[in-house]
């Protein structure tokens, strides 16, 4: 299981690895600026991110070394392990900023929900590989994958992290694109979703969570409190202009107008310092990586590899799309980091493991 033969090495996907290295490097440079405080040396956030990068690199290598076809057998145990971690989080984790999503072991903090998404993708790819979507004609046939997805989403909701729960739901439902079910059935699902949202709004969301949604509709309703970050982010992005203010020269960034500019609003730092051109370059690299992931899925020689690659693309696409939309004021502020850029060890570890799985499928596409 744990080996890379010569033929696999010869077919290694250097393009995917190169795109990843460039994005990670840009992310570290951007994080340095976001946490820069003068000539005092490296910020603690950068130091911790480098440590997470080292661990994430080992996770990437491990994800490449194990033939992905063996992962089909290990998908369910991995999924169950992530559910156990989520349950332990509910029991042991402290409440931090209103949510209970982090296991704390001294200086080490782990966010199990980041790993749970990877586990969910593995088990869903396994199910759809064994139950081809082209043969599914009725909505009730999807009750098993729905249950597999609802379990981690429910546990994350109980942790009071609605943003991560929504992200996990979006990643899981990506597989439904391949299912051929009549439109009227989906209309019923949509109506049920509207009713569920109404109930969630009335009984499930806390005041600050409702406030974030209302701030998205009207950021000026409370510009000095709940709408502050959305407004300052828009100012930072707009002030960058076409070419930006220059590295370490962004006034919104260096004067700390955005308290979470190194996490959720890291893209605003990029836009202010590198402008529209720099933002387009980074987004272009992300799009290239995601499209190449879809090419890997198309070229896979078995169903599990194809669905695993699609799931990995979803793991990277949805947080990137939501984060950029959030920074630009096109989505509510729900606390979703930008993959490979935002500060966060658990997210970086999960992202690099995801890249490792894509590399795994790509380099073994001939072994049939």
Taking only the tens place, the pLDDT of each residue in 93-117 is 887 777 788 888 777 788 999 999 9
Which of 157, 164, 162, 155 is CA-nearest to residue 208?
Answer: 162
182 in a domain, yes or no? yes
- State the pLDDT at residue 107: 76
Residue 183 maps to a domain: yes
Phi, psi at residue 33, to the nearest 5°? Answer: -65, -40
**Contact at 8 Å (CB) between 59 and 315?**
no
Three-class secondary structure of residue 37 per DSSP: coil
Render pLDDT for 254-291 as a digit per residue (tens, 0 to 9). Answer: 777 777 788 888 999 999 999 999 999 999 999 999 99
Residue 181 lies inside a defined structural domain of this protein: yes
| DSSP code string of 171-201 | HHHGGGGG----HHHHHHHHHHHHHHHHHII
Angle at 173 between CA 184 and CA 148, to 5 degrees: 110
The answer as to whether 163 is a domain residue is yes
Q: Which residues contact 302 (CB under 8 A, 6 or more apart)?
A: 69, 129, 368
Is residue 5 classed as helix, strand or coil in its secondary structure? coil
Distance separating alpha carbons of residues 217 and 103, to the nearest angstrom = 34
Structure tokens at 349: 């570890």
- E strands, 115-241, in order: none
Does any domain span residue 107?
yes
CA 218/CA 54 separation, integer angstroms: 42
125 Cβ neighbours under 8 A, 6+ residues apart: 72, 75, 175, 304, 307, 308, 310, 311
Outline where DSSP puts E strands in the chain. Answer: 103-105, 108-110
Residue 256 CB contacts under 8 Å (≥ 6 apart), including other chains: none
Distance, CA of 220 to CA of 214 (rounded, Å):
10
Residue 213 lies in a domain: yes
**Residue found under tokens 């100012």:** 235
Three-state DSSP state, 103:
strand
pLDDT less than 50: residues of the chain: 2
Evaluate whether 5 touches 360 at the Cβ level (below 8 Å).
Answer: no
Which of these, 358, 356, 336, lies nearest to 347 by C-alpha position?
336
* DSSP assignment of 40-95: T---HHHHHHHHHHHHHHHHHHHHHHB-HHHHHHHHHHHHHHHHHHHHHHHHHPPP
Element (H, E) at 132: none
pLDDT tens-digit series, residues 74-99:
999 999 999 999 999 988 888 777 77
Residue 368 lies in a domain: no
What's the token pair of residue 267? 């893209």
1 falls within a domain: no
Task: Give the separation between CA 20 and CA 15, rounded to whole angstroms.
Answer: 9
Give the number of domains in the chain.
1
Which structural domain range is residue 72 located in?
Answer: 6-363
Sign of CA dihedral 124, 127, 132, 133: negative
Asked if 89 and 99 count as a contact pair (C-beta separation under 8 A), the reply is no
For helices 228-239 and 266-299, give the axis angle rounded to 10 degrees. Answer: 80
Token pair, residue 189, equals: 């699902």
């Amino acid at each position: 299981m744990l080996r890379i033969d010569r033929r696999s090495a010869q077919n290694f996907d250097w393009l995917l690895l190169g795109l990843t290295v460039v994005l990670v490097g840009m992310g570290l440079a951007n994080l340095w600026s976001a946490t820069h405080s003068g000539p005092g040396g490296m910020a603690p956030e950068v130091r911790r991110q480098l440590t997470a990068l080292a661990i994430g690199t080992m996770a990437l290598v491990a994800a490449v070394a194990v033939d992905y076809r063996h992962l089909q057998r290990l998908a369910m145990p991995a999924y169950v392990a992530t559910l156990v971690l989520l349950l332990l989080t509910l029991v042991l984790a402290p409440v931090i900023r209103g949510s209970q999503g982090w296991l704390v072991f001294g200086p080490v903090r782990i966010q199990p929900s980041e790993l749970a998404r990877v586990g969910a993708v593995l088990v869903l790819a396994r199910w759809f590989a064994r139950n081809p979507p082209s043969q599914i004609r009725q909505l009730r046939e999807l009750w098993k994958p729905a249950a597999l997805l609802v379990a981690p989403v429910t546990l994350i909701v109980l942790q009071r992290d609605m943003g991560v729960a929504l992200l996990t739901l979006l990643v899981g439902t990506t597989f439904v694109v391949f299912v051929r079910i009549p439109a009227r059935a989906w209309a019923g699902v949509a109506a049920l979703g509207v009713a569920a949202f109404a109930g969630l709004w009335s009984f499930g969301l806390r005041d600050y969570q409702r406030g974030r949604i209302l701030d998205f509709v009207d950021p000026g309703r409370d510009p000095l409190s709940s709408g502050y970050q959305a407004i300052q982010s828009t100012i930072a992005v707009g002030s960058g202009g076409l070419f930006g203010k220059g590295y370490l020269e962004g006034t919104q960034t260096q004067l700390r107008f955005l308290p979470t500019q190194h996490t959720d609003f890291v893209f605003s730092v990029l836009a202010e310092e590198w402008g529209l051109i720099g933002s387009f370059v980074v987004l272009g690299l992300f799009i290239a990586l995601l499209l190449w992931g879809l090419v890997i899925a198309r070229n896979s020689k078995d169903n599990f590899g194809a669905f695993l690659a699609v799931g990995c693309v979803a793991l990277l696409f949805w947080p990137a799309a939501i984060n950029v939309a959030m920074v630009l004021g096109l989505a509510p502020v729900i606390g979703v980091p930008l993959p490979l850029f935002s500060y966060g060890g658990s997210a970086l570890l999960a992202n690099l493991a995801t890249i490792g799985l894509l590399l795994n499928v790509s380099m073994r596409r001939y072994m049939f």
